[in-house]
Amino acid sequence: MTNEGRLPAPLDPPRAALRAALLAHQCAGEAEERDRAAMLALVESEPACFVRTTFAPGHFTGSAFIFSADSGHVLLHHHRRLDRWLQMGGHDEGESDPALTALREGREESGLSDLVLLSPAILDLDVHPIPPGRGEPAHSHFDVRYAAVTHTAGAARADDAESLGLAWLPLEEAARRMEEPGARRALAKAARLLGTSF
Q: Counting every residue, how long is the chain? A: 198
**CA angle 46-52-54, nearest 5°?**
40
CA angle 179, 185, 189 (to 5 degrees): 140
Contact 126, 143 (CB under 8 A): yes
The predicted-structure confidence for 136-186, as pLDDT tens digits, reads as follows 999 999 999 999 999 999 999 998 888 899 999 999 999 999 998 899 999
Q: Where are the domains of the chain?
A: 13-194
Q: Residue 31: which pLDDT band, with cuts at 50, 70 and 90?
A: very high
Tens-place pLDDT, residues 105-143: 999 999 999 999 999 999 999 999 999 988 999 999 999
User: pTM of this prediction?
Assistant: 0.93
Nearest to 38 by CA among 111, 127, 99: 127
Supply the DSSP symbol for 81.
Answer: T
CATH number for the 13-194 domain, one of 3.40.50.720, 1.10.3720.10, 3.40.50.2300, 3.90.79.10? 3.90.79.10
Q: Which of 177, 180, 181, 179 has the alpha carbon at shortest distance from 168? A: 177
